[in-house]
Chain A
Amino acid sequence: MNVIEVNNVSMKYRLATEKVDSIKQYLIKKAKRELHYEDFYALNEISFSVAKGEVFGIIGLNGAGKSTLLKIISGILKPTTGSIKVSGKIAPLIELGAGFNGDLSGIENIYLNGLILGYSKKMIKSKIEEIVEFSELGKFIHTPIKNYSSGMKARLGFSIATIVQPEILIVDEVLSVGDIKFKEKSEKKILSMMEQGATILFVSHSLGQIEKLCERVVWLEGGRVRKIGHTKEIIEEYKKITLNN
């Protein structure tokens, strides 16, 4: 059974040759017919599917469209054409702690961030101790978050995002959260989620990590699928071609 199906997805951006953000400018340019746009395809006719329980990697150079693809799958962006079918609850570990408010305390932010991730209030209440414990913030949990270090924020974000066993986990280079100790702990957590049957989409520039974790990989290049298949073959070819250039 496929939990993620991506069908012919294209993402077109209209790049204005100049930035127009005031009504006056817009009207003048419009009247003079000086509004020019350039089409730019961040993704072009992407199709693939991911089966339940699979660990699926996405590789490609910077600007290949990896992040755009993740954003489309997690529903932040709508594709220009094509369709996406996702069945199951997604935990996007793309941007940890999105929506943290500096003036609120750690506890208050757990509620806010948890609700943003789509948890119910009751659920968060029952898990709050577990979150605090995993984040190792201890007594700082009642301090306004603006006084946290970036590592503390990331730890809290990670702890909130991984508190439920998701059906689909999107991981975008976040295994590098916090210090070595926490990094190990977070890797362990992700591995345990994998064992419990979560489908995982994994984006990383570390080919070692990809080889270790993923069964299949899609290789994006310039917004198109260059190749899709078993990790070993693709990584080999990817290494050969990107390193030669």
Chain B
Amino acid sequence: MDKCHPLANLALEQTIDKILNQTQKEIESSIDSALNDSQQTLDDAIPKLDQEYDKIIADGKKEADKIEKQIIGSADIKARNKQLLALEASVDKVFTKALDEITNNDRSGDYANLIKSLLDESIRILGTSEVIVSTNSKDRDVVQSTLSGFPGSELSSDTVECIGGVIIKSKDGAMTFDNTLDARIERLKPLIRKDIAAKFGVNN
């Protein structure tokens, strides 16, 4: 094999150096470009990350608000319900005591007037004086004596369970009017409850 000419070797070395330099430049440029790209990507990512961070914080705050509302709402309802039950128990006590007092009330004096007005009202509402009147055993005497002022009316031999007052029935049995104290209290109960509640300091 012939030995290479020294000039040829030099040319080859120069070419190799040139290629190496070029490659080095390309690699350096590529590294710079990659670095720039990475920097750019990083710079671009920061606002996105900030946005994402803000969104996570906002979502978390929203969720926290929701849970706070749930806890407060539920506690408010529970407290209110306990208050309602306590109030109702007190109202019931007042009612029971009042009913006891009415039941044991003396039937003399004004009570006859009360029975008379109850009979008046009942006969007016039924639209007939031909009526049968029922009452409890305690009021029987008062009613019997008051009925003398109501021609056409008669006292039933049967007694009814009530704390006072009368039940009037037309003689043909078609119409009945309950004017016992129990029925009247029942009709007015919502208003009485309101008054009692107001005495306990509960106003709507």
Same complex for A and B? Answer no
Spell out B's residues near A (CB within 8 Å).
none
| A contact residues vs B (CB 8 Å cutoff) | none
